[in-house]
Amino acid sequence: MNFYEKLILFLFLLLSSAYYAEAQKTPADLVNPFIDTHNSRWFYFNSACRPFGMVNLSPDTDTDKTWSSGYLYDSKTIRCFSHIHAWQLAGIAVLPTTGEFKGHLGMNAYQSGFTHDTEVAKPGYHKVVLDDYEITAELTSSTRVGFHRYTFPKKKNKAIIFDIGAKLAHGPTVYSKVWKVSDTEIAGVQVLSKTGRRPKDTPVYFVARLNKPFSSIKGWKDKKLLANAPDTIQGVNVGAALFFDSKEKEEILMKVGISYVSTEQARLNLDTEINHWDFNQVVQSSVDEWNEWLGRIKIKGGTEQQQIKFYTDLWRSLLGRRIVSDVDGKYMDRTGENAVVRSVRLDENGEPLFPHYNFDAWWGSHWSLNILWSMVYPEVMDGFCNTMVDMYQNGGLIPRGPSGGNYTFVMIGDPSTSFFATAYNKGIRNYDAEKAYEGLRKNAFVGGSRDHAGYEHNSPAFGGGMQYYVEQGWVPEGIEAKGAHKDGASMTLEYAYQDWCLAQMAKSLGKHSDYELFMERSENYKHLWNPETRMMHPREMDGSWIEDFQPVVEGFNARGFCESNSAIYTHFVPHDVAGLIELFGGNEKYTEFLDWCFNEGEKLDFVGINKNHAANWIDYGNQPGTGMAHLFNYSGAPWLTQKWVRKVKEAYGDITPYDGYKGDEDQGQMGALGVLMAMGLFQVDGGAAVKPYYEITSPLFNEISIRLNPDYYPGKKFVIKTNQPEHAYIQAAKLNGKPWEKCWFFHSDFEKGGTLELEMGTQPNKKWGMKDPLPIKK
């Protein structure tokens, strides 16, 4: 073999090796936690955590508020590593230090500089060097236990700070206590102050165990060190630190178990989930778990950027909402006057059937999580349904966003209705469906959760305007009540959709009179249609249209609309798009107007000016408008759905720390939406119909294989194949080998498994998808 032949062989092997290494990337390898972290939110950034983990351990660069807090990419210092980043919950801030001790002086004094050059973050693991202390910190976790590995330099005064009296994110700490258990273990509690959203103080209990004994413990109060090093430190504005005498370079491991029930339960979580000191084993276990969850969807083709965004979106859909029950199923119920320890349902072996969860409202989830989870993670929907039924039995209402066992009444309406209807009508039913329906029906009348305006905790509550809705079919502006989001037009439109969802569940349960009642109420959206403005137009108390009406305004919300405007909410009739199109005067007129809206919205990257949600005709940065591109499937122009879905995906396709979600990836909802758009499947009605179906648009990949959960669906997998995914327009299709001329197919086809093949092209085929056009009879 001559020199040139050897060179060619070497280059071939080099390229082959690079290709093989690239091909071997796992889904977890493709996740980028840093996407859009320049403007974060307390629960947004995640690294060392498991799916829905009670512990979400990561560095905090900013800790003073709920927004623009947690981990912000452009920050220069790390203030602490905290264990909880959740909806209205935080807790247990720690940081290792060396040299002169400053822990008692607060985070401004003891924070450390860091650089991204020495930082690694991926699902289940975070590594960062604290430059001020020359400490390499590594973080991982199980579901309820944070695991730390600190490599200390050859220096004096090694310490680990437990700043359990500090303010973290949502509010101050009202009381805390920490005590020495042994030379290798401490325990304690941090009581989080109530907030305007979470109405009661909430304790977080912890047990911290080390692999090496600490030589002493010091406490402080109000920034002053306490004399005589007491074994118990308690009060307001207190904290403690563990000190180590060794001056040599050494590695110290620490496990921190948490619980919302008691320190005994925190210790049980710790002993059960991590009963060894092998840090690398826990990292690998976390990576393996993430690959199992993310690997339920396998993709081939597309660009590397698209693959990274896809798996990051999917990863985010499994974050944000948190498990709050312990390993044995115990959780804390704070829906009543007194806190009560309860347990989730257990199987015959005494093991929890499902966890109990903490979560923000399902507001807008009908276009994201409801669809994705019901397809790929039906057991997750079952778990959340069980949580909501438990809270109904505990406190008398299906919740609208529970936090720390509290009702919060976040946002508006009762979006849990669409969640349950989608679950039930897709066969996800491992909960008391009759009890769930009873609670949902209660919410649909005066005195239910709909009657609570945003964060309106008092009872009786009437900010949600249900008396007006039931009596006259619409909610006016100007309701005088406590709470936020008293936006009558948004309430009316969302109540109408939720009534339809309740009707679908009623029909499946054989409640025919209720079906008729709620189907009639589902047409209440028509009370807001103004034939003169040809938009959904808010109304005053006396029934008159509000004056100075503008479909788009400068600001976060227009009068009458929750975080949005009439330009977007006019299209919010997910359950009766045909009725909406009829109001516009037919398919042609509606398609022309909607297409014009998208052309205008594209000028601002489909997001409001400066993220003001009312300042654009299209806003994919917030929930109310995220189904709009798919409406062309209903107006006889599926090629325009293909066009605009692709353009929105491109606008939200960045994978840098400075874009990707445009500011509000809300506990997985925008991530789930991104996954659905990339797969080319959607459900405008949220999948809540008695006989659910999926709408088809253009996927980003050559092949998408969805592994079906055999406990719910008989098929093994559903596969979507495309020949040229770089092109946006569908030319022809086959379903299970047979020509397919519809732009939709039933969920019953999906759950049996099968293959959808799409032939793509550069120009629209305006004939494809027109057989049996949407909306279908349900």
SS3 238: strand
Token pair 């909960």 in the structure block, residue? 431
Give the Cα separation of 254 and 150 in Å (integer): 8
Give the Cα separation of 535 and 546 in Å (integer): 12
Q: Are 759 and 731 in contact (CB under 8 A)?
A: yes
Give the Cα separation of 399 and 277 in Å (integer): 40
Structure tokens at 512: 């025919």
Q: What is residue 2's predicted lDDT score, i.e. its pLDDT?
A: 55
Give the CA distances from residue 292 to residues 28, 145, 288, 630, 681, in Å, rounded to whole numbers and listed in that order.
9, 20, 6, 30, 22
Give the Cα separation of 646 and 634 in Å (integer): 18
Give the Cα separation of 469 and 539 in Å (integer): 12
Q: What is residue 24's predicted lDDT score, i.e. its pLDDT?
A: 80
Give the Cα separation of 628 and 506 in Å (integer): 27
Token pair 């936006």 in the structure block, residue? 487
Structure tokens at 561: 């609309």
Beta bridge partners of 135: 130
Q: What is residue 21's predicted lDDT score, i.e. its pLDDT?
A: 44
In degrees, rounded to 5, the angle at the alpha carbon of residue 660 between the alpha carbons of residues 656 and 661 is: 140
Specify the pTM.
0.96
Beta bridge partners of 80: 60
> Domain residues of the chain, as ranges?
1-26, 31-293, 314-706
Beta bridge partners of 151: 136, 251
* Regions of the chain with pLDDT less than 70: 1-23, 777-778
Q: Is the dihedral of CA 194, 419, 775, 634 positive or negative?
A: positive
State whether CATH 2.70.98.10 applies to domain 31-293: yes
Q: How far apart are the first and last CA of the chain?
A: 71
Structure tokens at 272: 């059960």
DSSP state of 193: P
Residue by residue, DSSP assigns 201-226 as -EEEEEEEEESS--SEEEEEETTEEP
Q: What is residue 760's predicted lDDT score, i.e. its pLDDT?
A: 98
CATH number of 314-706: 1.20.1610.10
Give the CA distances from residue 207 to residues 185, 210, 264, 329, in Å, rounded to whole numbers and listed in that order.
7, 10, 8, 18
Q: Are 245 and 305 in contact (CB under 8 A)?
A: no
Q: What is residue 516's predicted lDDT score, i.e. its pLDDT?
A: 98
SS3 361: coil
List the one residue out of 394, 379, 382 whose CA is nearest residue 343: 394
